[in-house]
Amino acid sequence: MSDRPRGGQAADDRTADTVAGAVRWPAAGTLDRIAFARLDESSRDAVRTSPVPVLVLREPALLAVTRVMTGPAWYAIAAREGGLTISLGGTRLAHPHPGVAPARGRSIVRGEPAFVTQNEAIWSASWLENGVAYVLEVECDTPSEPRCADERTLLGLTAALSYVGGAGGQP
């Protein structure tokens, strides 16, 4: 992560407590235009203004219920379908906390070290990619159901993400 926002990005996102990382926008050739087109209009608008590269769930049934939201330095996706609640998002603002040692997760997601954990039966994976901290979470309406018995559903979803754009990489 860099301690300076990249040129053209909103430097005023940076506060005394945060550091804006330099976003590396993926090549235009990696854009999934089909997935983008499957988003509703509101979500497509949100993608266009996202300050970070937007990853979405590629599955058409999930894209149909995906809601994309953006903040000053982040985006978030909410999707609820078939007994699953899926939350996905990324931010380029990092919080430097003295006393917290750098570490790398033991798992691998999208080729990057990732932390995989379970919180009250909600599975999550977090990783750094393109200068952005991403996190994907899966919650089962019924925590005891097989899809939330282990991390396989979560990891399966992380393997099926598509890049659909952002303010620095329009489709």
Partner 1 sequence: MIRACRAAAIGASSLTPTVVAALLVGTLASHARAAEFSYLPPGDLIEGSGDGRIDDHVYAAGIRFPMEKTPAFANSQVYNAGGFLGPAGGQCDDSNYSYPWRDNYCETRSWDMPLCPAGTGHQGQDIRAATCEKDVHWVVAATDGTITSIGSYSVYLTAADGTRYDYLHMGSVQVAVGEKVKRGQQLGRVSNEFGGTPTSIHLHFNIRQNVQGLGSVYVPPYLSLVAAYEVLVDSPPLGALEVADCTRLRGYAYDPDTPDLPLEVEVAADGEPRATVSANEPREDLCELVGACDHGFEALSPYSLFDGAAHELRFSAVDAESGLRHELLESPQVFTCESVALAGVRRPIDAIVENAWSFSPFWDEAPAGEADIVALPFAEPLDEAPRLVALASDPTLQWLLDGGARRSVDAATAKAWRFRASDAQPIEASALDAVPERAPWPARPLIIRRPSGEAYLLDVAEGIVGAGGSGTDDPTDRTGGGAGCACAVGSRGRSPSPFGALAALGITATLLRRRDLRRAASEGSPRSEPRSG
Q: How far is the CB of 61 from partner 1 (least distance, A)?
A: 17
Q: Which is nearer to partner 1, 47 or 128 (CB)?
A: 128
Q: How far is the CB of 48 from partner 1 (least distance, A)?
A: 17
Q: Taking a C-beta distance cutoff of 8 angstroms, is the pair 23, 13 a contact? A: no
Q: Which is nearer to partner 1, 32 or 139 (CB)?
A: 139
Give the separation between CA 62 and CA 116, rounded to whole angstroms.
22
Q: How many residues does the chain have?
A: 171
Report if residue 72 touches partner 1, rule: CB under 8 A. yes
- Terminus-to-terminus CA distance in the chain, angstroms? 25
Q: Which of residues 77-136 bind partner 1 (CB under 8 A)?
A: 78, 80, 85, 87, 89, 91, 93-103, 105-107, 115-122, 126-128, 133-135
Stretch that binds partner 1, among 33-41, 53-61, 63-71, 159-167 (CB under 8 A): 63-71
* Amino acid at site 52: V
For 141, counting Cβ atoms within 10 Å of its Cβ (0-12 exposed, 13-18 middle, 19+ buried), the class is exposed
* Max Cα distance, the chain (Å): 48
Select from 80, 92, 158 the least CA-distant residue to 124: 158
Please provide the DSSP assignment of 136-160 as one string.
EEEEESSTTSGGGTSSHHHHHHHTT
Q: How far is the CB of 166 from partner 1 (least distance, A)?
A: 15
Q: How far is the CB of 100 from partner 1 (least distance, A)?
A: 6
Which residues of the chain form contacts with partner 1 (CB under 8 A)? Answer: 1, 15, 17-19, 67, 69, 71-74, 76, 78, 80, 85, 87, 89, 91, 93-103, 105-107, 115-122, 126-128, 133-135, 137, 139-144
